[in-house]
Amino acid sequence: MPPIFPPRSNTIARVSIPAVLFLLAVLTGLAVWWTHSSRFTKVGVTVPQPVPFPHSFHVGGLGLNCRYCHVGVDQSSFADLPPTETCMSCHSQVALNNPVLQPVRDSWTSGKPIQWNRVNNVPDFVYFNHEIHIDKGVGCETCHGRVDKMTTVVKAQAFYMSWCVHCHTHPEEYLRPLDQVYTMGYTPPGNQITIGTQLVKQYNILPSRQLSNCSICHR
């Protein structure tokens, strides 16, 4: 009785199995690379806005506090966008004829809000509360980067779950005094881990009992 498979089948099997494993490894590597690339995460990618608001000038130059425009961010789950009234509190007297501010003037005249384009976002199944993070000493810079150096605000973090979980399990690496939460370019006055560990106790943060609970972010 002749063999069912030709002799070369053994050679094909020995070659194909490593080839398939290699192909899977390459595809996995490509998938990881793609999901961490700026084209996928949008980190560092400029988002066009109806008004070119230079944070580098307003925050870095004039020293405006984040709460001047994002009112109530320390008392709300989300950071609201500034209404036209906030812009006009200055620009009713400053740069009156600047053409790039025409959308602001049009919004003020018509009463229609400016349609800003979102830069930072998390999935609908993720609950993120700005207020609690600020109250516990997490600086704006930690998540949003050096906004004071951005001409146009860009996404600074991919906000992957692994990044959030690392902060929840090692909060001492990120916490700062409450009077430094809005400071850009904050440098701890000593060893960050030592200071952060003290702040974890001071702020009554319980990483193993609270922050590791799935319901904290997924409700």
Could you read off the pLDDT tens digit of each residue along the chain, which spans 219 residues? Answer: 566 767 777 777 777 888 888 889 999 999 988 888 888 889 999 999 999 999 999 999 999 999 999 988 988 888 888 899 999 999 989 888 899 999 999 999 999 999 999 999 888 899 999 999 999 999 999 999 999 999 999 999 999 999 999 999 999 999 999 999 999 999 999 999 999 999 999 999 988 778 888 888 998
One domain, residues 75 and 88: no
One domain, residues 126 and 211: yes
Is 1 domain-assigned? no
Q: Which pLDDT score, from 0 to 100, does residue 34 have?
A: 87
One domain, residues 158 and 58: yes
Q: Which pLDDT score, from 0 to 100, does residue 142 have?
A: 95
Q: Which pLDDT score, from 0 to 100, does residue 82 have?
A: 87
Is 180 domain-assigned? yes
Is 176 domain-assigned? yes
One domain, residues 188 and 215: yes
Is 21 domain-assigned? yes
Number of Cβ within a 10 Å radius of residue 147: 18
Q: Which pLDDT score, from 0 to 100, does residue 56 have?
A: 95
Is 3 domain-assigned? no
Q: Which pLDDT score, from 0 to 100, does residue 190 have?
A: 94
Q: Which pLDDT score, from 0 to 100, does residue 179 have?
A: 95
Containing structural domain, residue 18: 8-35
One domain, residues 13 and 94: no
Q: Which pLDDT score, from 0 to 100, does residue 3 have?
A: 64
- Which of 126, 139, 215, 216 has its CA nearest to residue 177? 139
One domain, residues 31 and 101: no
Is residue 164 within 8 A of residue 127, CB to CB? The reply is no
Is 47 domain-assigned? yes
Q: Which pLDDT score, from 0 to 100, does residue 77 have?
A: 85
Q: Which pLDDT score, from 0 to 100, does residue 1 have?
A: 56
The Cα 97–Cα 102 span in angstroms is 8
One domain, residues 164 and 97: no
pTM here? 0.83
One domain, residues 155 and 204: yes
Domain count, the chain: 3
One domain, residues 134 and 191: yes
Is 110 domain-assigned? yes
- Which of 75, 72, 68 has its CA nearest to residue 53? 68
One domain, residues 75 and 181: yes
Is 2 domain-assigned? no
The Cα 156–Cα 43 span in angstroms is 5
One domain, residues 47 and 134: yes
One domain, residues 106 and 125: no
